[in-house]
């Protein structure tokens, strides 16, 4: 965006540093005449769209709860087309505020706007809403063929059709007759087995002449031995050792996940799957984690913060497209990590670094100080004022009392302090600051 040099009659009203169009990162700027899209890395201008060519601007939200803006463009010469701008996540809801400011600027320049959804309150779609029309109205296939009736003597019956009502008793009579025959055969076999061939001895011959009582054959049932079956071994996941030195963040999920890890101005973009460890070379700070599932499964997403091998805190979710957000203070890095002694702090608070200037003795004033560029908006009793400046600036509001609210954000990645102060009749009412790269300061106070 450094290559943008508007003329003396054109001013920049709003900068949008984090925009995605068709999967590519861009920066956007809204001037008093047009909207400009430039490549984020090179600054080359890709789109230069006059407000007069934009016929409709529709806000919405995509499947991962990011605010979107769909522009319908009808240039004087050329085919009508559309561009969708995605406002990616920023701390403090800055992306939602950027979308609202963009809609207000377009409406002020006679562009028809339509807000179909509210990005700040819309949650993820339910599973029923996510179904496609084809899935909701899916036709059932043919029923599976009927299973033929089977019984003890299924060879005598066919599954192709049922016998007449009068002939249904016949199979039962046949079954009883067959059972009787089988029992008789078993008894005869056992009897004949008991009368095997004998040796021709005189004693046995004499005994054979004597009548012998008939014996009843005994039917021996087969003995069934139960063989114990050992349960199949259960595979246990391998335990991954947590590093014993420094501060680490462990993320575990079977599918894909994305997000950011931030601490002391250091930002790490996360886009991976499975179990991963990320080291944060910081200490005595607050670790911010924002990790989101990339699919609609009910698998468990786990995020844990370790210090010196010991668990500090963690969070998990099983919701489709669920999010785990952590803001955890972490002390000195443990586990034997060598941490240099911090240098003595000269200034007691960030506000001590403010230049000494004369504060207006009367009225309500908002002071914004930052060495680089800052943008935002402040509202007082319904009066909205857009801010786009740099350095040390004072903004007066013609009110005697009420509520002042708004937000101002840094436009670069430095760790310098962005400070906001509210004065009433020369006395400070409230103060707030941030040192996070691209950080945002929010205020809401009564005067």
Q: pLDDT tens digits, residue range 268-299?
A: 999 999 999 999 888 888 999 999 999 989 89
Neighbour-count burial for 362-374, b at 16+ CB within 10 Å, e otherwise: eebbbbbbbeeeb
Q: Which two tokens stand for residue 382?
A: 């319904």
Determine the 3-state secondary structure of 185 from DSSP: helix
- Whole-angstrom Cα distance, residue 438 to residue 121? 24
Please name which of 354, 352, 366 lies closest in space to residue 429, comparing C-alpha atoms: 366
What is the pLDDT at residue 261?
94
Alpha-carbon distance 95 to 86, whole Å?
Answer: 9
Q: Which pair of structure tokens corresponds to residue 84?
A: 């969708």
* Burial of 246 from C-beta contacts in 10 A (0-12 / 13-18 / 19+): buried
pLDDT given for residue 151 in this prediction: 42
Q: How far apart are CA 442 and CA 94, in angstroms?
A: 10
DSSP annotation of 192 reads H
What is the C-alpha separation between 24 and 7, in angstroms, rounded?
28
The Cα–Cα gap between 98 and 14 comes to: 8
Supply the pLDDT for residue 147.
Answer: 41
Backbone angles phi, psi at 6, to 5 degrees: -65, 155
Using one digit for the tens of pLDDT, what is the confidence trace for 258-269? 999 999 888 899
Task: Report the helix count and the strand count for the chain, using DSSP H and E.
Answer: 5, 20
- Alpha-carbon Rg for the chain, nearest whole angstrom, is 41
pLDDT at position 42 is: 81
Residues 6+ apart with CB under 8 A from 108: none
What's the pLDDT score for residue 332?
A: 85
pLDDT confidence of residue 8: 63
The pLDDT tens digits of the residues spanning 55-67 come to 999 999 888 888 9
191 phi and psi angles, rounded to 5 deg: -70, -45
Three-state SS for 1-61 is: CCCCCCCCCCCEEEEEEEEEECCEEEEEEEECCEEEEEECCCCCEEEEEEHHHEEEEEEEE
C-beta separation of 427 from 384 below 8 A: no
- Which residues of the chain fall short of a pLDDT of 50? 119-168, 197-206, 208-209, 235-236, 336-341, 344-345, 347
């Amino acid at each position: 965006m450094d290559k943008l040099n508007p003329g003396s009659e054109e001013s920049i009203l709003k900068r949008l540093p984090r925009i995605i169009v068709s999967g590519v990162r861009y920066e956007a700027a809204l001037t008093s005449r047009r909207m400009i899209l430039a490549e984020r890395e090179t600054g080359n201008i890709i789109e230069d769209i006059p407000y007069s060519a934009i016929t409709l601007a529709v806000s919405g939200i995509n499947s991962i709860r990011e605010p979107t803006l769909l522009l319908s463009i009808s240039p004087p010469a050329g085919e009508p087309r559309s561009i969708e701008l995605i406002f990616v996540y920023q701390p403090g809801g800055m992306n939602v505020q950027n979308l609202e400011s963009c809609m207000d600027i377009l409406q002020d320049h006679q562009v028809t706007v339509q807000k179909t959804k509210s990005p700040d309150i819309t949650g993820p779609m339910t599973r029923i809403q996510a179904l496609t029309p084809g899935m909701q109205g899916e036709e059932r296939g043919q029923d599976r063929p009927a299973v033929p009736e089977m019984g003890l003597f299924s060879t005598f019956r066919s599954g192709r059709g049922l016998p007449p009502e009068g002939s249904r008793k016949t199979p039962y009579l046949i079954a009883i007759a067959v059972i009787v025959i089988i029992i008789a055969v078993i008894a005869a076999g056992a009897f004949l087995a008991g009368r095997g061939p004998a040796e021709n001895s005189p004693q046995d011959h004499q005994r054979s002449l004597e009548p012998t009582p008939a014996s009843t054959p005994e039917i021996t049932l087969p003995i069934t031995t139960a063989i114990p079956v050992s349960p199949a071994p259960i595979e246990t996941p391998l335990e991954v050792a947590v590093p014993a030195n420094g501060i680490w963040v462990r993320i575990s999920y079977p599918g894909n996940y994305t997000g950011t890890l931030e601490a002391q101005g250091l930002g790490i973009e996360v886009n991976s799957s499975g179990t991963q460890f990320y080291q944060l070379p910081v200490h005595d700070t607050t670790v911010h984690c924002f990790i989101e599932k990339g699919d609609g499964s009910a698998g468990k997403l786990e995020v844990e913060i370790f210090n010196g091998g010991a668990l500090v805190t963690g969070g998990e979710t099983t919701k489709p497209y669920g999010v785990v957000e952590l803001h955890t203070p972490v002390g000195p890095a443990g586990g034997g990590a060598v941490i240099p002694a911090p240098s003595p702090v000269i200034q007691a608070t960030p506000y001590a670094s403010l230049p000494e200037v004369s504060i207006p003795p009367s009225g309500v004033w908002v002071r914004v100080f930052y060495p680089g560029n800052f943008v935002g908006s402040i509202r007082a009793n319904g009066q909205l004022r857009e801010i786009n400046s740099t350095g040390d600036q004072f903004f007066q509001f013609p009110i005697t009392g009420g509520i002042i609210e708004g937000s101002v954000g840094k436009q670069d990645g430095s760790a310098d302090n962005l400070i906001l102060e509210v004065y009433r009749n020369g006395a400070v009412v409230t103060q707030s600051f941030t040192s996070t790269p691209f950080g945002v300061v929010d205020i809401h106070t009564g005067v």
